[in-house]
Structure 1
């Protein structure tokens, strides 16, 4: 272990500031400046506490410097002292003996390495250099969604620069793709951008497919205007997963991989909790748990918590007609759902968004107000995601038409997001995004 003069001075200064003394400097228990009584009973015997300034003295000091509009503080000047300039003739600075060590006192050196060098690995031996595992063949490697090799003795700085160059090249190439160009257009429109993709099938397909897709999404997300990535939809509702364990494993793996290739970006999922819309109807809740066993609130919460999800989008599709057997209409189902969301305190775990697919086609002003404003105004959701087009099972496409009504919702427009597929534009991407920017402050770009 290296112990430089600078480190010794730093340790000594730290002990002096906090008033914790080493055994040789310990004070007796009857010392009026002892503060051992403030320490816990299980504190080690060699750790002692000593007031540099008692609370009373600290008060007097503060009053001295703060009196008369801090007059004493304003008149204070630096204390005279002897300062050495090592570059000035005649001034001599102490030099530590021994070989020169690159880096500072916080630079890691593998155990067993000589200062100033790196360890040599014998045949068949495993050793480590700056986090890279090295073998007897003279190379070291590190897994980063893929493997790369590095000759022993190369610096981690070289590896970092190479990785940065590769990432920059990938980001530049991604910017030329249709999705990349859509991101550029969205930035010009003033949108806060999310990438909307699906990783479930790739994850189930195996490591190669999953790794390739994650890298591609990471290259797109490297753009500074991209705020986050929604990496799955209808989680637990569709047929992608059969068990809660599968969901947990997928969410954990996907979030870990995305945080590695897209650090700092928010991660989101889209799902539905059918039980929430039942309200206090026990028969309804029992049936919903039976029909959707993977969407039980406590199980879904555990999955999302395990993956450290930043945003949860809750679909409202089941609210329209799915609860008629219990005489719960769409308005009651929506009110029940958001009351349950508030009661669950999910907003402490993640940002909550309402996913609204029911405003395409012909809708009334009342429907727009209730489905868009209510979740936000009630404080249950922080934003509302609106689909701009929905295609039914028969292939019929319904489009968002309530533009005039949406334009009236100025107070919450920054909380309104459009779900838009740049691969299926209405006119062209630039024209579509310009129109959407008149209403929405955020956009989810569907990424194939």
Structure 2
């Protein structure tokens, strides 16, 4: 094909307009007034050249054109008239659209197994109840105002006043198991609280699959997570969804005997099952507990530190962070009546349970239990009685650099002093709080 002068000039102009680097041999002249080669570094390859799209004085003129007279030209400017082809006009030929209305085909953004959320699913067995109408989940302004006046609503306001980012912490597994009516009512209650100012998201289950009397099979676990996610996204649009669980097999590392035993003992905490919650898009955050780290791995001579390292290696290898926010969760710093750790012990534990997951890129945030009550009624705290400081708390206050990544849980129904005072104290160390609203 002949390449004449006109084509050469046209190609060069196009490259210049696009700001594309062209070989030096193609430059028209080293003395080109639009050349900006002098701005290139000394190590710039010889085949790269620089040409001004608009020189500084020209750029100023362009800016002034649009800004002068209080932006008159900008206000007068409008989109170009659309080019419309009327297929009904005689003599006009328009292509026929094949398979109109079909989704999920090649080149379509929808997956092949896409299910229209507006169409009720077929229940198994047929005729059963397995679908909650999204319209029945919507909450009105009156319900939102009423929620603000509840104890939980006032606690949310207190947390916001303390400068904390707030998540709702609840458990929907028992409500889901109880049936559609109770589940729908609880979802609406949570949605009304989630509509309060400053609420970032909802954690709808904790320790899912571990000693859980409500969820007994993998199929139930998947169905619960899917149903809870679907209902909450309809009732509380825009709020992030989270759940908390653990994966005992992760702590085993490459020890096959350990993995086999954990798989038998905790079938509802299998890596692939827990991973399905993440990769399905049902949740936006998953918190992995370190509750089994310690004596649980002793039979295989795996230390707590090794088990934790193994866990985060597995999380990274599975790329869960590509699908959802990954958080570490730990209660090690608490003790009955208050943390009994010395300053040195606390610093060492913080390095292992807080710093390590963050530094290893296993977790993006760390949730530390700061106060909780066991089955015997004993209160475990990081702080002492009446919010008294402990060496452990003092060590935590030094973590300013990672404070945005630190969260804790708080139950306003069981305050240490009072809700406002407790939350103000929490804000000394943590930037986020999971407020129990169950």
Following superposition of structure 1 onto structure 2, how do residues 38-437 of structure 1 map, counting pairs within 5 Å?
56-59=12-15, 66=53, 68-69=55-56, 71=58, 74=61, 143-146=133-136, 167-237=140-210, 238-361=212-335, 362-363=340-341, 364-365=345-346, 366-401=348-383, 402-437=392-427
Residue segments in structure 1 that go unaligned for 5+ positions in a row = 1-29, 33-50, 84-130, 133-141, 148-162
1:367 deviates by 1.5
Q: Say if 1:251 and 1:307, in contact at 8 Å, map to a contact too.
A: no
Hey, what's the Cα distance between the residues in 2 that align with 1:439 and 1:186?
Answer: 14
Q: SS of 1:419's equivalent?
A: strand
Q: Please say if 1:439 is aligned against 2:395.
A: no
Q: Say if 1:66 and 1:73, in contact at 8 Å, map to a contact too.
A: no
Q: Say if 2:279 and 2:320, in contact at 8 Å, map to a contact too.
A: no
1:77 deviates by 7.6
When normalised by structure 1's length, the TM-score is: 0.67
Q: Say if 1:419 and 1:444, in contact at 8 Å, map to a contact too.
A: yes
Hey, what's the Cα distance between the residues in 2 that align with 1:209 and 1:253?
Answer: 14
Q: SS of 1:323's equivalent?
A: helix
Hey, what's the Cα distance between the residues in 1 that align with 2:379 and 2:65?
Answer: 77
1:399 deviates by 1.1
- CA gap of 1:375–1:72, structure 2 versus 1, over 3 A, is closer
Hey, what's the Cα distance between the residues in 2 that align with 1:429 and 1:442?
Answer: 15
Q: Which has the higher relative contact order, 1 or 2, with Cα contacts under 8 A spaced 6 or more apart? A: 2
When normalised by structure 2's length, the TM-score is: 0.68
Q: SS of 1:380's equivalent?
A: coil
Q: Say if 1:386 and 1:416, in contact at 8 Å, map to a contact too.
A: yes
Of 340-349 and 260-269, more deviation after overlay is shown by 340-349
Hey, what's the Cα distance between the residues in 2 that align with 1:73 and 1:437?
Answer: 49
Hey, what's the Cα distance between the residues in 1 that align with 2:54 and 2:201?
Answer: 51
1:333 deviates by 1.4
1:67 deviates by 5.1
Hey, what's the Cα distance between the residues in 2 that align with 1:55 and 1:324?
Answer: 71
Of 359-368 and 244-253, more deviation after overlay is shown by 359-368
**1:304-334 deviations in Å (ceiling 9; x for gaps):** 3335211000011100211111111222211
Look up the match of 2:25.
Answer: none
User: CA-atom RMSD, angstroms?
Assistant: 3.0
**1:209-240 deviations in Å (ceiling 9; x for gaps):** 01100001001001230001000011121232
Hey, what's the Cα distance between the residues in 1 that align with 2:382 and 2:55?
Answer: 67
Q: Say if 1:247 and 1:303, in contact at 8 Å, map to a contact too.
A: no
Q: SS of 1:229's equivalent?
A: strand
Of 202-211 and 359-368, more deviation after overlay is shown by 359-368
